[in-house]
Structure 1
């Protein structure tokens, strides 16, 4: 009943009942006539009536000469029927109409007042509290984590990221034992910003802090601040921090901070833009005249470059914690967490799966484990085997397999030679990433694909490695030209990626001998509401632009000629691999190494197990700070669209 009473339907029913009661007592009851008006006139004219009584304004009562009582409602005015009665010498008596009860009359006057008061009471009830009630759009939409009833997440549920955990443990420890820090005069950071690519677990890390701290934890998205009404965002920021003060000590977590914290000055509305008002209020609340003791603000973003500098200064977001893509050890730990509740077969080696997934984020690893489970269920298996994990990796990278797609023999030749060119160059080039798998089975929009995996996670990429990577990318086009005497559109993606790498080598990495160690072109920092990196400003002359184009072409031509030279020297090897690929449709590194060893005397063939063990040892040795994020290579997969 309490829940129903808060509904508008309850009040509508009360008002309707009151209205019906008033109408019942105020409105006269209609008369049940014994005969019609015309019959009444006929009785008068035939002298069947001697005396009548007029009640009120239009009701006539009486008795006929034969003793039959009647009561009739006269339509229109009573004067006309009075004249008829007088003309026929009928005695006329009068009586006043009966009056309704006194309380019914009072109810008729009070009904409008009751209606207005009821409507006002309903509006005031709706205005109280937050949620989605009427007039409550100025209230914060933050949700309190400990009231959601979700499973508690701790740091044990987050694999790897030991440095990040250490930074956040200080926050948890301060909330539990603030005197430990205050004795030494230390102050806890007011704000902690989690920065990293999408899917790396920033929100999960914040949930772990909530689970460890044991204090009120409020969660809100950056987009929840701004609405269509002007001033709502700033009002919600004030209400959010008021809730924080009432529940201090507490943690407030703002997800996707860039939705509200973008740099000021580029909005369409200038200084009166709604986003800027919201951001200004957030800046004041974080570090203004009134201190917010006991409130720690955490936020997550994958676009720190577009945030306003005032947000990132000390006193607001004092610390920026980088949550980057996991390395080999981190991927293995994430995968171990996501498979702990799944039936895994004995042949599954999580180390090998982690090695085959460089560049995968935590969300990618979770998706990988889920895809493997789906494939096992589709094949009516009771356990997830290594085959499902291997197929799941291909599915995540290149899309679902399309064995039903019919391709002609000519297209099959094009794809086979194209992918063979990529695969062999990946193995024969000294600094290229080794080929893990090559397939001519269509997946997604790709007619075929080649997966090159680095032997270890790389923090930096050398000029030789980038040059060989361009050469391997051009291997497909070169193989088509040499063995088919024609070229296809399948190399479109390869040419695009090769040109991008070559241009970056010239304009960003300073690897051109002709131009030298210069960075040419600068990312636009203006129009931040449209995105900072839409274009690059041209801070060089037309002569330098022509020189850049010439240097890029030299890098591409040199790599193209090198690929042609290697494939021309190994034609028999290419033909043997194409034949094997057409027969099996998919070749793994072990198959490719066997073919190369047959035709190349100085090539040392390593079984897959030995190669994996060496790779794992290299993975453990290659640990360092990932400073050059843009140069960090991801999975080298070549997708061919043969449509």
Structure 2
């Protein structure tokens, strides 16, 4: 039997079609910065705050100073009183402001006076003649001008024009990403003195930690490795399904390294302008060289690292030029000692072979889906800051969540907390985890859906057939619970707890297909007709049977031959279309073998359910009464329907 890991166990059978199945914040080094590296608010064309304050102060002074400037004081006279004093010869001088009409001057005893004046010029022609007759020394003064307002009237239009052009420049930079800095790298530098995530925050994956820790130790203490001539790997590629923690490992390296750390995503290199990607790659490595020792993390490297020449675009498109520049920087003429590339992808099969060769990415570290013990540790990490009830068993939850990634488990714990809040509970209990798992895998409970009595009874027998076979068949996964409460797109669900397996036997797949046929067969035996409720079950069973024949060599007639069911035409290989890998006779033989497996397991399901027909009736009645029953209760009902001392299997 091959040790290659087969696909994860199929989803639980159910009536109706069901749905398909960052930690702490990073601490950026220094203050926020613009893309070109200048401090925020200090980029090209930006004015310092003190300049704005000076302009506001000058404007306020130009308006307020003239009104607050101290003026000459003196006795205030009515214009008529002043005229009588002129007639009496008591006025010595008079200064007449032609703008405001205000008259100031001195009496004969040199005391000062002031009056409002009259007429447009301050005095009428008759009063001017009176001043002449009385030999009063007078003169007309033009209105005084405010020099600040004068300067403001000159420079304000110029300032408005300059401000308009500055605004236009900033808008153009915002839309185009800054023309002058378009080729600059968008990598974020992290402060190693304030780690936000460490290896202690990552549960399990001891092998991955060991390999990455070697690189971190080399950058910290290179003399230990150089003493015996060891060379640090230039690149480490983290490979694994989405959500397994590849980016989290990079964050932990940033916290543990104690050297410069630059983070960038593959899409940051791509722009609409030709040559920008290659320019940003050069700038990224120059920035790392200035740090002396540095780690560069490229997330989702498959966006720029795909095979060259794949597709109709030829070899001169922007993405390929960016990849060529990265290949040259990683292992070209110029040495890059002290710089380590850490990259992550979930599509290693589409990466260019030149990128994966030794000297560039020397190591490929697989970050797989967590095992049972690792899932338990991950659940413990995500639940340590939450109030857990005494009935929560993380061992059971870890066993009940096979195939879930670290991100799925973190979401599961959070969903359980939300369910507890909706229940108005002060702690998270086991029922909250059960409901959260059902919600994550199957969808939200559809409480508004009301089934007719006929549909509810048919659903009970359908799920009863699945549950009976899951309990009786020897090679399947043990039954956990069965329910007829609608969830997601399913009217009912039979849930098993998959055991931790790395290889799967032919008997296991046959029992899985037989269990999937149980709902359809039970309805046919009880009601004598078929409906559309088994659509998802048939799809699941047919998919397993097809892979048994085409990929796993589990058909005696077809023999030990395998044909992959996934044609990766998007890679550009044989883009003009490749013929089928087998002849028409073989295709007919494959179809016959698939049909044979399905019919055999359907007949097997019919025989087992007919034998345990009384147990099926008890299970269906219990479901109609309680809507949800667990695996041990199903086994008890089946055992009670058998003759005394008869085994269930």
Q: TM-score range by the shorter chain?
A: 0.7 to 0.9
Q: Give 2:540's aligned residue.
A: 497
Contact 1:596 1:603 in 2 (8 A): no
Q: Give how far 1:216 is off.
A: 1.5
Q: Give how far 1:266 is off.
A: 2.4
- CA distance change for structure 1 residues 3 and 494 in 2, over 3 Å: closer, same or farther? closer
- CA distance change for structure 1 residues 239 and 571 in 2, over 3 Å: closer, same or farther? same
Q: Give how far 1:123 is off.
A: 9.8
Q: Give how far 1:67 is off.
A: 10
Q: Give 1:89's aligned residue.
A: none
Alignment of 1:219-298 (within 5 A): 219-298=263-342
Q: Give 1:433's aligned residue.
A: 477
Alignment of 1:407-446 (within 5 A): 407-446=451-490
Q: Give how far 1:451 is off.
A: 1.0
Q: Distance in 2 between matches of 1:447 and 1:527?
A: 37
- CA distance change for structure 1 residues 173 and 305 in 2, over 3 Å: closer, same or farther? same
Q: Give 2:370's aligned residue.
A: 326
Give the one of 389, 403, 416 matched to 2:447. Answer: 403
Q: Distance in 1 between matches of 2:478 and 2:334?
A: 59
Contact 2:192 2:254 in 1 (8 A): no
Contact 1:266 1:526 in 2 (8 A): no
Q: Give 2:588's aligned residue.
A: 546
Contact 2:259 2:293 in 1 (8 A): yes
Alignment of 1:306-455 (within 5 A): 306-454=350-498
Task: Kindly provide the CA deviation profile for residues 414-450 of structure 1, in whole angstroms up to 9, marking residues without a partner as x.
Answer: 2111111111111111111121111000111211111
1:573 aligns with 2:615: yes
Contact 2:192 2:261 in 1 (8 A): no
Q: TM-score, normalised by structure 2?
A: 0.74
Greater Cα shift, 131-140 or 331-340: 131-140
Task: Kindly provide the CA deviation profile for residues 282-319 of structure 1, in whole angstroms up to 9, marking residues without a partner as x.
Answer: 11111111111111100111111111111111111111
Contact 1:521 1:540 in 2 (8 A): no
1:142 aligns with 2:187: yes
- CA distance change for structure 1 residues 412 and 110 in 2, over 3 Å: closer, same or farther? closer
Q: TM-score, normalised by structure 1?
A: 0.75
Task: Kindly provide the CA deviation profile for residues 67-105 of structure 1, in whole angstroms up to 9, marking residues without a partner as x.
Answer: 999xxxxxxxxxxxxxxxxxxxxxxxxxxxxxx9xxx99
Give the one of 202, 206, 215 matched to 1:162. Answer: 206
- CA distance change for structure 1 residues 433 and 589 in 2, over 3 Å: closer, same or farther? same
Unaligned residue ranges in structure 2 (runs of 5+) = 1-38, 60-97, 100-120, 130-144
Give the one of 226, 247, 264 matched to 1:203. Answer: 247
Q: Distance in 2 between matches of 1:572 and 1:287?
A: 72
Alignment of 1:96-115 (within 5 A): none
SS at match of 2:337: coil
Contact 1:521 1:536 in 2 (8 A): no
Q: Distance in 2 between matches of 1:227 and 1:8?
A: 29
Task: Kindly provide the CA deviation profile for residues 213-255 of structure 1, in whole angstroms up to 9, marking residues without a partner as x.
Answer: 1112111111111122222111111111111111121111111
Unaligned residue ranges in structure 1 (runs of 5+) = 20-30, 33-60, 70-99, 607-643
How many residues get paired? 536
Alignment of 1:473-492 (within 5 A): 473-492=516-535
SS at match of 2:629: strand
Higher RCO (CA-CA < 8 Å; seq separation 6+)? 2
Q: Distance in 2 between matches of 1:319 and 1:413?
A: 57
Q: Distance in 1 between matches of 2:394 and 2:622?
A: 29
SS at match of 2:571: coil
Q: Give how far 1:599 is off.
A: 2.3
Q: Give how far 1:554 is off.
A: 0.6
Q: Distance in 2 between matches of 1:187 and 1:127?
A: 47
Q: Give how far 1:375 is off.
A: 1.3
How large is the RMSD of aligned CA atoms in angstroms? 4.0
Task: Kindly provide the CA deviation profile for residues 563-621 of structure 1, in whole angstroms up to 9, marking residues without a partner as x.
Answer: 11111111111111100111010011111111121123566589xxxxxxxxxxxxxxx
Contact 1:597 1:605 in 2 (8 A): yes
SS at match of 2:340: strand
1:559 aligns with 2:559: no
Q: Give how far 1:137 is off.
A: 2.3
SS at match of 1:299: strand
Q: Give 1:469's aligned residue.
A: 512
Give the one of 623, 635, 638 matched to 1:596. Answer: 638
SS at match of 1:271: coil
Q: Give 1:301's aligned residue.
A: 345
- CA distance change for structure 1 residues 9 and 501 in 2, over 3 Å: closer, same or farther? same
- CA distance change for structure 1 residues 68 and 336 in 2, over 3 Å: closer, same or farther? same
Q: Give how far 1:463 is off.
A: 0.9
Q: Give 2:114's aligned residue.
A: none
Which structure 1 residue ranges, 4+ long, deviate > 4 Å from structure 2?
A: 2-6, 8-19, 64-69, 104-128, 131-134, 601-606
Q: Give how far 1:394 is off.
A: 1.5
Q: Distance in 1 between matches of 2:401 and 2:327?
A: 41
Contact 2:449 2:486 in 1 (8 A): yes
- CA distance change for structure 1 residues 118 and 462 in 2, over 3 Å: closer, same or farther? same
